[in-house]
Chain A
């Protein structure tokens, strides 16, 4: 089929790739893999409408297309800009991009509590990775940071709004995975917050997935909170027969105990198969699961420092370069 469809050629940081028309710059970069992939904090490929908000994936388009070679006047969000045939994109090779990205990281951090030492997300936090790669060691922000009270939204989930970067992923997850609208964004500007209307509970078989999509420690698992640093746990691929979901998950073990269960994330931290609450919160016994073997965690700075796998699978980009 691909032979009949015309392919668009796009060059990102000097690497050429052919993709289907309609592909975004970010997804084209992901086909190449490695360093040319811009970071993304709000885009989530399986969530419709996500992306465009965090502005960390900004890239420079130095050539619009073969037909219209003019460069784009502004940096564009690579997650929401479709490619054109002959487009040339600069990510890491553009100083403008790196400067703007450092600016975005600084903006994201000014109201972030930086309480990584006590945050459950530490070690698998996208903001931590992003700040590590693009941030500065000190801040120029000298004012009081925005804070919120911690809220229990439902039986299993804790919302710590202070850490939130308003990526809207959890809102899209709840809107798209669950039947009724569960929660949304209240207020506006830097007072905007994720909330359930009048502190309602989030009750839905799949609502636990908002924890997985949260790039920071704003939504955490109450059954795992403060039990262990994630890098002391051993992630194992596991599955079980489940009536609601695929039952394919990652169990994070401390010794022989299942400390927590999450869905399986790819190298960009995205869940492809969402799991249900029963698998996530209730099945905390080793006998509930069929363990397949160690899970390779890609990219994440702290967890991947702790490689214990016998043989780590090689880093495989989505498209094999010949």
Chain B
């Protein structure tokens, strides 16, 4: 059964305005929650739904909400993380641009559930035009009584404001986001204490991704149990996937969790197959931070089962033969793409975006980028490959925030699965500048399909 929960009305003309959104069933979840449900009921529904964080880590949202400390007389805050900066991920932008009221409705529900009266949307600086869309939508919501004092006579007050970052990837990390929102340098905080205890201005705080918050709307509308019916296993509901790369139809797709990766890439309903009839060489299924999958592990797991679009199936086999669903930035590479160059490009990004607070990430990301640059431009040595492996190993797990891991994983996976190609770059320093590995060696990347 194919259901769209978030993008159901995306095609309706004027859906970004309050009136059209309302006509299409908008804000009915808020009405329902404020009239018939207590805040704890909303939390309970979200718990039942099995919704997991859509920002990358996949932590159960209901559980995250239940961790929030509730000391007497201390206000709590709910923050929306719209600092979507992961290379390959652009689903939140699409959602906010097309249906801003869905996010606002989700914010009202979540804030109500957590008992927060002041919530913020932290949006990245590059999304300035989205900020204008959001601000217009918020003004409409205030004008129609969905925000402000005593919302629809329920006695619940909520103020919502949008704040922009200055374009730093690191501010998508929740504690760096909080620091930035407080007006400080966006350095991640040292945990513990966790934001659920001491977050924004030392008050209990919950930070959720845009898509997670939007998903609360269908959960309240249809009930947590109904939502949990959709999807597969512990990957419930639908997920927005931002697909890019060498495919016929890149874009944002809402998929039901549990469809096969093969269907997603090759069916006309989704990506419509590889562009120009090329062969698939590799795939990054969850944004630049997650390990890359080689052609033979994209559609099938190492055990020979169909790989599905779900948290569990994409992670099947651990990092040795699996990857992660991450934030859903699905990047597909055809046989003409150079993995060394791609890895260097990712590495360059993490080097540029490291906050510079802790030593392994500050120094290590730059070092990896330089070594990869050397390999890509034909000045590498065989030892460089082992050196890279050693550097990534010393960054991973030893840093304050997950940026270090995110920088290390793509490098590790590229070496693990495409070592041959790295070695070829060393052996053929001139050729690697002009031609691609696959073209020269006539290596055939046979995709293992179902």
Does A52 make an interface contact (CB < 8 A)?
Answer: yes
Let me know if A74 and B397 touch, CB within 8 A: yes
Tell me, rounded to whole Å, the shortest Cβ–Cβ distance linking B193 to chain A.
10
Does B310 make an interface contact (CB < 8 A)?
Answer: no
Let me know if A188 and B355 touch, CB within 8 A: yes
**Docked pose: A81 CA to B193 CA in angstroms:** 10
Let me know if B394 and A189 touch, CB within 8 A: no
Q: Provided the pairs A104-B398, A106-B394 are in contact, do residues A189 and B359 lie with their beta carbons within 8 angstroms?
A: no
Contacts of A25 in B (CB 8 A): none
**Docked pose: A192 CA to B366 CA in angstroms:** 12
Contacts of B354 in A (CB 8 A): 188-190
Let me know if A107 and B168 touch, CB within 8 A: no
Q: Which of B168, B360, B397 has the most CB of A within 10 A?
A: B360
Q: Provided the pairs A143-B370, A185-B185 are in contact, do residues A55 and B356 lie with their beta carbons within 8 angstroms?
A: no
Please report whether the interface of chain B is mostly helix, strand, loop or mixed according to DSSP: helix
Which residue of B has the minimal Cβ distance to A100?
A: B398
**Docked pose: A141 CA to B354 CA in angstroms:** 19
**Docked pose: A202 CA to B393 CA in angstroms:** 40
Contacts of B448 in A (CB 8 A): none
Q: Provided the pairs A55-B398, A58-B398, A184-B185 are in contact, do residues A189 and B360 lie with their beta carbons within 8 angstroms?
A: no
CB-contacts of A47-80 with B (<8 A): 51-56, 58, 74-75, 77, 80
Does B423 make an interface contact (CB < 8 A)?
Answer: no
Let me know if A82 and B192 touch, CB within 8 A: yes
Contacts of B192 in A (CB 8 A): 81-82
Let me know if A166 and B356 touch, CB within 8 A: yes
Let me know if A53 and B357 touch, CB within 8 A: yes
Does A204 make an interface contact (CB < 8 A)?
Answer: no
**Docked pose: A140 CA to B387 CA in angstroms:** 8
Does B135 make an interface contact (CB < 8 A)?
Answer: no
Q: Provided the pairs A103-B394, A104-B398, A188-B168 are in contact, do residues A52 and B358 lie with their beta carbons within 8 angstroms?
A: yes
Tell me, rounded to whole Å, the shortest Cβ–Cβ distance linking B89 to chain A.
21
Let me know if A100 and B394 touch, CB within 8 A: yes
Interface residues on A, range: 35 or more
Contacts of B398 in A (CB 8 A): 55, 58, 74-75, 100, 103-104
Q: Mark A188-229, 1 if CB is under 8 A from B, else 0.
A: 111110000000000000000000000000000000000000
Tell me, rounded to whole Å, the shortest Cβ–Cβ distance linking B180 to chain A.
12
Name the one of A77, A140, A189 contacting B366, with C-beta atoms under 8 angstroms.
A189
Q: Which of A55, A82, A141, A168 has the most CB of B within 10 A?
A: A55
Q: Which of B355, B356, B363 has the most CB of A within 10 A?
A: B363
Contacts of B370 in A (CB 8 A): 143
Contacts of A111 in B (CB 8 A): 363
Tell me, rounded to whole Å, the shortest Cβ–Cβ distance linking B10 to chain A.
36
Which residue of A has the minimal Cβ distance to B394?
A: A103
**Docked pose: A187 CA to B187 CA in angstroms:** 11
Tell me, rounded to whole Å, the shortest Cβ–Cβ distance linking A270 to chain B.
19
Which residue of B has the minimal Cβ distance to A81?
A: B192
Tell me, rounded to whole Å, the shortest Cβ–Cβ distance linking B237 to chain A.
27
Let me know if B364 and A107 touch, CB within 8 A: yes
**Docked pose: A82 CA to B393 CA in angstroms:** 26
Which residue of B has the minimal Cβ distance to A79?
A: B190
**Docked pose: A81 CA to B192 CA in angstroms:** 7
Tell me, rounded to whole Å, the shortest Cβ–Cβ distance linking A101 to chain B.
9
Tell me, rounded to whole Å, the shortest Cβ–Cβ distance linking B409 to chain A.
14
Name the one of A82, A103, A106, A188 contacting B356, with C-beta atoms under 8 angstroms.
A188
Contacts of B366 in A (CB 8 A): 189-190
Does B365 make an interface contact (CB < 8 A)?
Answer: yes
Does A165 make an interface contact (CB < 8 A)?
Answer: yes
Let me know if A104 and B351 touch, CB within 8 A: no
Does B159 make an interface contact (CB < 8 A)?
Answer: no
Let me know if A52 and B190 touch, CB within 8 A: yes
Tell me, rounded to whole Å, the shortest Cβ–Cβ distance linking B353 to chain A.
7
**Docked pose: A95 CA to B435 CA in angstroms:** 44
Does A108 make an interface contact (CB < 8 A)?
Answer: yes
Which residue of A has the minimal Cβ distance to B393?
A: A103
Q: Provided the pairs A77-B190, A107-B394, A190-B366 are in contact, do residues A166 and B357 lie with their beta carbons within 8 angstroms?
A: yes
Let me know if B364 and A189 touch, CB within 8 A: no
Let me know if B190 and A190 touch, CB within 8 A: no
Does B259 make an interface contact (CB < 8 A)?
Answer: no
Which residue of B has the minimal Cβ distance to A51?
A: B190
Which residue of B has the minimal Cβ distance to A144?
A: B370
Let me know if A189 and B355 touch, CB within 8 A: yes
Does B362 make an interface contact (CB < 8 A)?
Answer: yes
Does B221 make an interface contact (CB < 8 A)?
Answer: no
Does B418 make an interface contact (CB < 8 A)?
Answer: no
Name the one of A52, A77, A107, A190 contacting B351, with C-beta atoms under 8 angstroms.
A190
Contacts of A75 in B (CB 8 A): 397-398
Let me know if A107 and B363 touch, CB within 8 A: yes
Tell me, rounded to whole Å, the shortest Cβ–Cβ distance linking B29 to chain A.
37
Q: Which of B357, B365, B393 has the most CB of A within 10 A?
A: B357
Which residue of A has the minimal Cβ distance to B396?
A: A74
Does B63 make an interface contact (CB < 8 A)?
Answer: no
Contacts of B351 in A (CB 8 A): 189-190
Q: Provided the pairs A82-B192, A188-B354 are in contact, do residues A52 and B400 lie with their beta carbons within 8 angstroms?
A: yes
Q: Mark B209-243, 1 if CB is under 8 A from A, else 0.
A: 00000000000000000000000000000000000
**Docked pose: A187 CA to B353 CA in angstroms:** 11
Contacts of B356 in A (CB 8 A): 166, 185, 187-192
Tell me, rounded to whole Å, the shortest Cβ–Cβ distance linking A113 to chain B.
14
Q: Provided the pairs A58-B398, A103-B398 are in contact, do residues A108 and B359 lie with their beta carbons within 8 angstroms?
A: yes
Can you list the 5 inter-chain pairs with the closest CB atoms, starting with the nearest?
A103-B394, A192-B356, A52-B190, A107-B363, A189-B354
The 25 sampled A-B contact pairs (Cβ below 8 Å) are A53-B358, A53-B359, A53-B400, A54-B358, A54-B359, A55-B359, A55-B398, A82-B192, A103-B360, A103-B393, A104-B360, A107-B359, A107-B360, A107-B367, A107-B394, A166-B359, A185-B356, A187-B356, A188-B355, A189-B352, A189-B353, A189-B355, A190-B365, A190-B366, A192-B355
Q: Could you tell me which A residues sit within 8 Å of B by CB distance?
A: 51-56, 58, 74-75, 77, 80-82, 99-100, 103-104, 106-108, 110-111, 140-141, 143, 165-166, 168, 184-185, 187-192
Known: A103-B393, A190-B363; 10 extra A-B contacts, CB below 8 A, are: A53-B357, A53-B400, A55-B399, A104-B359, A107-B363, A141-B367, A143-B370, A189-B365, A190-B366, A192-B362
